[in-house]
Amino acid sequence: MNHRAFKTEINEQFARIAKAIANTHRLELVDLLAQGERSVEELANEAALSIANASQHLQALREAHLIIARKQGLRVYYRLADPTVYQLVQLIRQIAERQLAEVERIIDTYLTERKVLEPVTINELISRLHEPGLIVLDVRPVLEYTQGHIAGARSIPIDEIQQRLHELPPDQEIVAYCRGAYCVFADEAVQLLLSHGYQARRMQQGYPDWKLADLPTETD
The span from the CA of 40 to the CA of 97, in Å, is 30
- Report strand pairing: 149-150 vs 154-155: unpaired
Active site residue 178: yes
Half-sphere exposure of 78 (CA within 13 A, CB side): 26
The active-site residue out of 178, 189, 190, 200 is 178
Residues 6+ apart with CB under 8 A from 191: 113, 117
Q: What interhelical angle do 84-99 and 3-21 show, nearest 10?
A: 90
How many C-beta atoms lie closer than 10 Å to residue 62's C-beta? 16
Residues 6+ apart with CB under 8 A from 48: none
Residues forming the active site: 178
